[in-house]
Amino acid sequence: MVELDQMKLDIQAYEEPLKEVGDSLDLENKRKRIEELEREMEAPGFWDDPDRANAKMKDLKSLKGTVDGFCALKQQYEDILTLIELGNEDEDPDMVAEVRQELDAFVSTYEELRISTLLSEEYDSASAILELNAGAGGTESCDWCSMLYRMYTRWAERKGFSVEVLDMLEGDEAGIKSVTFEVNGENAYGYLRSEKGVHRLVRISPFNAQAKRQTSFVSLDVMPDIEEDLDIDLDEKDLRIDTYRSSGAGGQHINKTSSAIRITHIPTGTVVTCQNERSQFQNKDKAMQMLKFKLLELKRAANAEKLSDIRGEVRDIAWGNQIRSYVLQPYTMVKDRRTGVETSDASGVLDGKLDAFITGYLKWKSIGGAEVGGDDDV
C-alpha cells in the first residue's frame, strides 16, 4: 500500500537521529548511576539525613525517567514498523489511520526528548522563579504584565507544572506592577531561561478613549530554584532588609504580621522580595536564595573578581531592548528578535503556546546564537 510504504520511509528516517539522541543521553552511565543510588537507598541510615535522601530520590526519579522514556520511544519505533508490515500483509486500509496516529505521536515524543538533550547547563533541571516588572507606561504596561503572567501560568499548566506566587504588587488602576512566582517541575528553568529579557506589546489600547496604537514593555527575570547554598559572600552592611505586611490570599498569617521580606543589595541596586512563605524566616531564606543567584549572574556577566565590583549590563525596559515583540494591531504576529522564530498565532502564544519559541532558543544557543534582530518595524 502506497500510504504505508511512505510512512515506512518516514519512520525509518528517524533511525539514525534516534541513535544519536540515545548517545547524547549517555544512557549507560545513567544506568550505572541508577544502580548506585538504589544500593545507597537500601543501606542502613539512608534516611538519617532527610534532605540528602530526598535529593538522591529526586535524582533517581529523573534518571529513571530519562532512561525509561528513551526505551519507550525506541519500542514505539519498532512497534510502528511492525504495524506497517502487518498492514501491508493484510492489505488493510484501516491500518493507515492507526499508523499515522502512532507516527505523529512518535515524532512529537522524539522532538520533546531531543530538545531535552539541549538542557545541559548547570541548573537546567531545577524549578524556575520568574519575576515580571512593568516598564514605563502606567496602566497599559501593568495590563501587559498581567497578560504575560497569565501566558506563563497557562504554559506551565500545559506542561503539568505547578505555579506558586511568591510576591505580587497590583497596578494602581488595573493589571500588575510586578509579580514573582515559582514554576515547579523538572527542567522548568532549562525551558524558561529562554524567556529572560524585555517583552514588547503593540496593540490598540483598551485604556485609551481615542483607540490609539500603543507600545508597552515588561521585563522578565528568570532564576533557578536551587536547594544548595551558592558560593556568594555577602557583607551584612551591603544589605538593606525591610519587612512589611503580606498582601493577597495565602493563609491566616497574611495581613496579620510583617512576614514579607524585601532585600536590597546596595552596591548593585538588586532587589528581591518574598511574601508567600509561612513565616518571616522562610521568606528571608527564599529571598536570600534569589538574591545570591542574581548576584552570581551579575558576577558572571561582568567577569568581576570581587563582588563589590559587580555592575553588569542594565537594560532599560523600553524600545530597542526587547527579546520578543507581540503585535496585535494592525495585524497579528509574535517574533523573537534573537532567533527569528515567528508566528501569526498571537492569541495562541498569549494562551501559553510557547514551545516553538523555547525550542528555537535552545537550538539557537546550541549553535552559538547570534542575534537575528530586525523586528524594530514590527
User: Which of the four CATH numbers 2.170.150.20, 3.40.50.720, 3.30.70.1660, 1.10.300.10 does domain 127-309 have?
Assistant: 3.30.70.1660
Q: State the pLDDT confidence band at 205, using cuts at 50, 70 and 90.
A: confident
319 pLDDT higher than 60: no
Residue in the structure block whose three cell numbers are 558560593: 231
- pLDDT value at 223 more than 50: yes
Q: With bands split at pLDDT 50, 70 and 90, how would you rate the model's confidence at 320?
A: low
- In which band, very low, low, confident or very high, does the pLDDT at 318 lie, cut at 50, 70 and 90? low
CB 230 within 8 A of CB 123: no
**Mean pLDDT for the stretch of residues 167-185:** 91
Provide the percentage of residues in the chain whose pLDDT is more than 90.
Answer: 51
pLDDT at 256: 44
Please report the pLDDT score of residue 206 as a whole number.
85
Residue ranges, CATH 3.30.70.1660, the chain: 127-309
- Report the range of poorest mean pLDDT among 126-130, 276-280, 294-298, 341-345: 276-280
pLDDT at residue 15, rounded to an integer: 94
- Which of 46-55, 186-195, 243-252 is the least confident region? 243-252
For the segment 21-39, what is each residue's pLDDT rounded down to a tens digit?
999 888 999 999 999 999 9
- pLDDT over 70 at 300, yes or no: no
- The whole-number pLDDT of residue 307 equals 35
E strands in 256-376: 260-265, 270-274, 322-327, 333-336, 342-343
Q: Measuring CA to CA, which residue among 133, 146, 173 is closest to residue 318?
A: 133
Cα–Cα distance measured from residue 282 to residue 274, given in angstroms and rounded to the nearest whole number = 9
Q: Give the pLDDT of residue 177.
A: 94
Asked if pLDDT for residue 333 goes beyond 80, the answer is: yes
Summarised one tens digit per residue, pLDDT across range 251-298 is 433 444 467 888 999 988 888 888 875 577 788 888 888 888 888 777
Residues of the chain with CATH 1.20.58.410: 2-116
Q: Assign a CATH topology to domain 2-116.
A: Methane Monooxygenase Hydroxylase; Chain G, domain 1 (1.20.58)
Average confidence (pLDDT) over 112-137 = 88
- Report CA-CA distances (Å) from 114 to 26, 195, 369: 13, 20, 18
Does residue 308 have a pLDDT over 50? no
Q: Is the pTM of this model over 0.75?
A: no
User: Mean per-residue pLDDT for 43-72?
Assistant: 90
Distances (CA, A) of 378 to 320, 345, 349: 12, 15, 17
